[in-house]
Chain A
């Protein structure tokens, strides 16, 4: 510390400040690019922006227009169908697979990565694969016809009333393995003593799962719900690759709605309003969750 003696005060002062200086650029970037941009988009939702941002104040006009659009209602309705099926099926499938895999399966090391690999793929790749697999002209239906089952028909992806379910199929394929991994981690954390005690009392395996283990998975259910719900609200790429929002508007979701109103229909004000509503939806799920997580984290 020879040099420190020459100018101790400046050096110490700098040393003290240095950590904060290192953190500052990241923090500034987050404040500007996340929170500043949220405010900017929020502000735009009250303006008459069309093709480009403009700052003429119009109050709540964009919101009243938005909520009067059947297109927006369809996007929300689709999100309701897609989101609830996606969350429920992924959770049931994830939990089921995790329980099966937790039965001291010899091939677990082979099976688990197989269940999980779709999570490493881009939704565009998933969408492409399922788009052609579900396409009646060359995919599953065509294959069944080739195999001699002439009456087989599976045209959901071309059907306005059913196309949204094909989005569910592809999305479940992509994410259920991940939910499985979450539940598996949860199951591995269950105290063996509890299970042994229940077995001593003569409880069957099914009873043990139903009455003891599955109720203990409550935090995992909550985490899975939060993760899947927020993925569902953000869902964009998969729909674009699988159906492009069609046929008609049959698979429009808020994210595709936002994009097309903002960038192709020149109604940036309405696009900004829809983005704001998406943010509110996600925040109402994430903020209470993180709040309770951080609080319990601090307690323990």
Chain B
């Protein structure tokens, strides 16, 4: 190999660096573009969108589309805006996340520290349940919600999400507690600590990170869900995603793109905030959910 002279080497090196940075910036623009388009156009009056282009900044700045999307836009037949559906989503997400996280923590604790014959089979069945296409459960679930008198209610949706979240939450906590020293648990047992005391005093205090990961994962998935919402909610219990889709795809009247964009950002806001505040945990959840078996 004939080594290039040092100056040329330095030059090609810095040229490569520039190209690498250029490529990275181009992709950053690509990923930011839709968010930019939504944000800029949600602040323009409708005429300006029609006559101008999508990429320019608003000339006539207005917050009306946001107010309209929040409280007066037509969702289905009612001019309620997205506000009630935002509340529905919160009322659905909070109990579902709390229940599935708590159950997942207990399950992970049992499956790693109180092992019993057949525990691997139990875990495998729970693990496999994470990956099923939910289409396979829609029909019987609709029937069962009817039988439980929960059809078309926010509680019903919360129940559905809690149940189908257990697989993932159990997976997260099991993998986390697997690495937790069993000797500590055994020592506590010898000291006479009970099942729940050990959980509360020994495992929970060091479970902070995995609780954050699990809560973020569940929150994001349940907030963003559309299929269960569109299948099981009725007009008054629609979650945010379904209401947004109704707003955008309603075929009556003028298409108020600016209101649609404002609504889309409103629907994205909670998960975006979570992502910005705790992105590191979000990524950990993604990786744990995707890569780990």
- List residues of A whose CB falls within 8 A of some B CB: 1, 4, 15, 18-20, 22-23, 25-27, 29-31, 33-38, 40-41, 44, 53, 97, 100-101, 103, 105, 107, 111, 113-126, 128-133, 138-140, 142-143, 146-147, 173, 177-178, 181-182, 185, 202, 223, 227, 230, 233-234, 236-237, 240-241, 244, 255, 258-259, 262-263, 268, 271-272, 274-276, 278-279, 282, 286-287, 289-290, 293-294, 297
Contact = CB atoms under 8 A, between A and B. Distances in A.
Contacts of A128: 38, 244-245, 248, 260-261, 263-264
Interface stretch (B59-67, B74-82, B137-145, B150-158): B137-145
Nearest to B227: A236
Nearest to A15: B195
Contacts of A33: 137, 141, 144, 163-164
Given A20-B116, A115-B31, A138-B49, A124 B135 contact: no
A262 B276 CA distance: 39
Contact of B249 (A118, A244, A293): A244
Interface of B: 1, 17, 20-21, 23-24, 27-28, 30-35, 37-38, 41, 49-50, 52-55, 103, 106-107, 110-111, 114, 116, 122, 124-129, 131-141, 143-144, 163-164, 166-167, 170, 192, 194-195, 220, 223-227, 230-231, 241-242, 244-245, 248-249, 257, 260-261, 263-265, 267-268, 271-272, 274-276, 279, 282-283, 286-287, 290-293
Given A117-B275, A142-B54, A146-B52, A30 B135 contact: no
A100 B23 contact: yes
Contacts of B194: 15
28 contacts: A25-B103, A26-B170, A30-B167, A34-B129, A34-B167, A36-B140, A41-B136, A111-B24, A111-B28, A117-B31, A121-B224, A121-B268, A122-B267, A124-B224, A124-B241, A125-B268, A128-B263, A132-B257, A132-B260, A132-B261, A143-B53, A143-B54, A178-B290, A182-B287, A241-B226, A244-B249, A278-B136, A290-B127
A276 B72 CA distance: 42
Nearest to B244: A124
A278 B106 contact: no
B245 A227 contact: no
B264 A282 contact: no
B135 A278 contact: yes
B129 A19 contact: no
Nearest to A237: B226
Contact of A41 (B17, B38, B139): B139
B267 to A, nearest CB: 5
B122 A223 contact: no
B137 A41 contact: yes
Candidate in A19, A119, A126, A234 with the most chain B CB atoms within 10 angstroms: A19
B287 A185 contact: yes
A234 B27 contact: no
A182 B291 CA distance: 8
A37 B20 contact: no
Contacts, number: 261
Secondary structure call for the B interface: helix
B52 to A, nearest CB: 7
A41 B41 CA distance: 44
A236 B136 CA distance: 13
A27 B122 contact: yes
Given A114-B31, A237-B226, A30 B126 contact: yes
Nearest to A38: B136
B241 A223 contact: no
Contacts of B32: 114
A115 B27 contact: yes
A103 B24 CA distance: 11
Contacts of B54: 132-133, 138-140, 142-143
Contact of A121 (B52, B114, B127, B271): B271
Contacts of A105: 20-21, 24
B262 to A, nearest CB: 11
A210 to B, nearest CB: 16
Nearest to B162: A29
A32 B219 CA distance: 24
A147 B224 CA distance: 36
Nearest to A172: B30
B220 A115 contact: no
B132 A34 contact: yes
Contacts of A124: 224, 226, 241-242, 244-245, 264, 267
Contact of A119 (B1, B231, B260, B286): B286
Contacts of B264: 124-125, 128-129
A182 B286 CA distance: 9
B110 A19 contact: yes
Contact of A29 (B166, B223, B226): B166
A232 to B, nearest CB: 11
Nearest to A23: B110
Contacts of B231: 259, 263
A125 B31 contact: no
B254 to A, nearest CB: 12
B4 to A, nearest CB: 11
B107 A26 contact: yes
A30 B125 contact: yes
